[in-house]
Amino acid sequence: MNRTGRLLELLALFHTGKTFTVGDLADTLSVSKRTMLRDLHLLSEAGAPLQASPGPGGGYRLIRSHQLAPLALTTEEAVALILSYEALLSYTDKPFAKETLSVIAKLLASLPTDPLTRVEQLRKKLRVTNPSRRVEAPFLRPLLDAALSQQTVEIAYDSLNRQSTRIIQPDYLYAFDGYWYCKCFCFLRGCTVKLRVDRIQAMTIVDAPSVVPDPHVSQYEEPEQLPLRIRLTRKGCKLAESHHQFGNQITLLADGSGFITDTVALSEIDWVARFVLGLGREATVEEPAELIDWLRKELHALCHFYPG
């Protein structure tokens, strides 16, 4: 059970009017006493009217005479907010971890008993999940601060192909598919790029112009865009529709098959090729020739791993 679930369970227990020791609560929710003390502290900081009584027969209880002013939220609105916050908490690193938990605790603490019980039931039956990534993004918050103050930073970046040192000006951060990304102006490339935040290995603020050229206008010529066309079987269409970019580029035909039409830069050929390889025989590239050539070479190389 995650922390949000425990906070719900705790408030539901306290709304029964009983007094609980830390040990009782820890055993009930299958956590350590230290974890339970942190949860109780979080609830108290969020405004839940908890009272601690020392000695035999003592423990924690909810003060009935002191309730937070109820929020004018429906049960569904409360669940929607909690699920939204929980989706952010599913990331290993997040810019407002403590604040997010505090908001959830305040929201739960302000709900009367009956809506709280309903929220707990709905939350168990409706979930928003992100892929669980075993990566850390230690420079997430510093990048956000740099974006807010329009500072230029130097980073050590570990891309798929090589390690490099770049000077960038962060524009904004966004979460997608379990990863954090930074949209930024890269002085090395002279254009706007997106970088995986977890691949940033070092970062320092540098004394450089804080106002960059229009991110939509490159200092260099834009890379040549090649026409892209991929024919898909019926199954291929269903497999490709979940792709974050090409899923929206599928044109369906009457028999359920279809095709993808788009453009691709030469530097992105390998990325598109890996997408095509994942579809197997359900996808056939018709153009560009550079992509077809890349696929031929890759498939030929793969054959050496599976002789016979």
Mean pLDDT of the 198-202 span: 96
**pLDDT at 62 (0 to 100):** 79
SS (H, E, C) the chain: CCHHHHHHHHHHHHCCCCCECHHHHHHHCCCCHHHHHHHHHHHHHCCCCEEEECCCCCEEEECCCCCCCCCCCCHHHHHHHHHHHHHHHCCCCCCCHHHHHHHHHHHHHCCCHHHHHHHHHHHHHCCCCCCCCCCCCCCHHHHHHHHHHCCCEEEEEECCCCEEEEEEEEEEEEEECCEEEEEEEECCCCEEEEEEHHHEEEEEECCCCCCCCCCCCCCCCCCCEEEEEEEECHHHHHHHCCCCCHHHHEEECCCCCEEEEEEEEHHHHHHHHHHHHHHHHHEEEEECHHHHHHHHHHHHHHHCCCCC
Lowest mean pLDDT among 139-148, 166-175, 213-222: 213-222
pTM of the model: 0.68
Region 206-224 average pLDDT: 58
**For residues 201-216, average pLDDT:** 72
Report the range out of 80-84, 132-136, 169-173 with the highest average pLDDT: 169-173
- Tell me what the mean pLDDT of segment 135-162 comes to: 93
Which has more confidence, 207 or 223? 207
pLDDT 10s digits, 45-93: 777 778 888 878 789 987 754 445 556 777 788 778 877 877 777 777 8
- 215, pLDDT greater than 60: no
Backbone phi, psi, residue 41, to 5°: -65, -40
Tell me what the pLDDT averaged over the chain comes to. 85
**Confidence grade of residue 211 (pLDDT, cut at 50, 70, 90):** low
Q: Residue 196's Cα: distance from chain center in Å?
A: 12
Residue 217 predicted with pLDDT over 60: no
pLDDT tops 50 at residue 31: yes
Between CA 299 and CA 34 the distance in angstroms is 54
| Residue 92 near residue 136 (C-beta atoms within 8 A) | yes
pLDDT of residue 241: 94
Q: What is the pLDDT confidence band of residue 219, given thresholds at 50, 70 and 90? A: very low
Residue 224: band (very low, low, confident or very high) from pLDDT cuts 50, 70, 90: confident
Residue 210's pLDDT is 63
Q: What structural domains and CATH numbers belong to the chain?
A: 3-125 (1.10.10.10), 140-205 (2.30.30), 225-303 (3.30.70)
Q: Give residue-wise pLDDT tens across range 93-124.
A: 888 777 777 777 777 767 777 777 777 788 77
Calculate what percentage of the chain has a pLDDT beyond 90: 46
d(C-alpha 192, C-alpha 179), whole Å: 19
Q: Which residues contact 190 (CB under 8 A, 6 or more apart)?
A: 218, 219, 220
Q: What is the mean pLDDT of residues 122-135?
A: 80
pLDDT category of residue 235 using cuts at 50, 70 and 90: very high
Alpha-carbon 75 to chain mean position = 25
Identify any residues that bridge with 51 across adjacent strands, giving them in sequence order. Answer: 61
